[in-house]
Amino acid sequence: MTVPTPPTGAAARRGPLRAGDRIQLTDAKGRHHTIVLEAGKTFHTHRGQFTHDEIIGQPEGTVVTNTAGYEYLVLRPLLSDFVMSMPRGAAVIYPKDSGQIIQMADIYPGARVVEAGVGSGALTMSLLRAVGDGGELISIERREDFADIARANVESHFDGPHPAWRLEIGDFADRVGDVAEPGTVDRIVLDMLAPWENLDAAADALGPGGVLLAYVATTTQLSRLAEDLREHGGFTEPQAWESMVRTWHLEGLAVRPDHRMIGHTGFLLTTRRLAPGVDAPLRKRRPAKGAYPTDADWSPEDLGERAVSDKKVRRVRRDAQHIREVEQHGHDEAAQGVATNEEDS
């Protein structure tokens, strides 16, 4: 007898809610709670409780009422919701910037992409969605503890390993030549403290016309990267920008901007690889000599680096792996339940 297996991937996200699924609860004031469903567990707040079993088996978009009469809308989190609620060791790239990266770096299905600086895996998930199962994403992270957090988050979101993903440990300049032949990479995304130190390695890996995109936090980094790209000579004139998101309050005729907004998070810079042996066109206008500092030795603090304590990273690493284990255990129990029901019938 063939035992049906629970749906996975997109099919699982369309079906009824299962044990092991991550869900987002929204109360009447718009506050979010993100939990992983477990059979027999109870969701508690200071305003009452309800059991997970009341939700398991129900469709998305249902409403559950706790013991105090408070209602919660039940939905699976969108990718943007997941990113903002997942365990994180390093600061994440916000969804507003991930969307810009996918569009402006022209990440397309089937592309071969290398990203360096994986952090907690926020951008990785957007890149994997963009390249699809037929593409390839090679992620290079120099810190093994950050890589473990990213792997747990990515596998939690995709309900297992993604077929297009490879996660490598080490420095970008040392590892990119090992994982990709020269000139075979379509896109490179750098999220690191000093991306200008890796321009030679990026130029070797990118094919002619390939896009290099860097995400940096400070104007100091932005200036240094732009000038080093021009000095390198193997790339087109860099373009840089930032994006800001201002939400709006919608209530009858009281339509106005919200009092708070997502302002500066980081700068994005793009440039494209020139053909080998081709020099970049000479710029017609340049600023005065005083615009260029004579001292190029900048400390990590000068560049805006914010240190993350080892204690926090250990805790987040443990939490991310635990959440992944709970989800997997719930899905295994769901599979066992399907098999038992089939045998009983």
Asked which of 279, 305, 333 is the last residue of a domain, the reply is 279
- Say yes or no: 32 and 134 in one domain: no
- Say yes or no: 253 and 112 in one domain: yes
> How would you class 1 by CB atoms within 10 Å of its CB: exposed for 0-12, middle for 13-18, buried for 19 or more?
exposed
Please tell me which of 265-269, 306-310, 320-324 the model is most confident about, judged by mean pLDDT.
Answer: 265-269
Question: Any idea which of 6-10, 34-38, 209-213, 317-321 has the lowest mean pLDDT?
Answer: 6-10
Asked which of 229, 263, 279 is the last residue of a domain, the reply is 279
- Say yes or no: 104 and 24 in one domain: no
How much is the pLDDT for 5?
A: 47
In a domain, 223, yes or no: yes
Structural domain boundaries enclosing 225 = 81-279
d(CA 160, CA 162) in angstroms, rounded, equals 6
Closest CA to 120 of 142, 92, 140: 92
- Say yes or no: 65 and 182 in one domain: no
How much is the pLDDT for 139?
A: 97
pLDDT at 296 over 60: no
| Residue 92: both structure tokens together | 């994440």
The CATH number given to whatever domain includes residue 91 is 3.40.50.150
> How would you class 127 by CB atoms within 10 Å of its CB: exposed for 0-12, middle for 13-18, buried for 19 or more?
buried
- Domain count for the chain: 2
Task: For residue range 105-124, list pLDDT tens digits in order.
Answer: 999 999 999 999 998 999 99
In a domain, 174, yes or no: yes
The arithmetic mean of pLDDT across residues 305-325, rounded, is 75
Task: For residue range 207-261, list pLDDT tens digits in order.
Answer: 999 999 999 999 999 999 999 999 999 999 999 999 999 999 999 999 999 988 8
d(CA 273, CA 186) in angstroms, rounded, equals 10
Band of the pLDDT at 91, cuts 50, 70, 90? confident
- Say yes or no: 149 and 43 in one domain: no
Phi-psi sector, 42: left (phi>0), alpha (psi -120 to 50), beta: beta
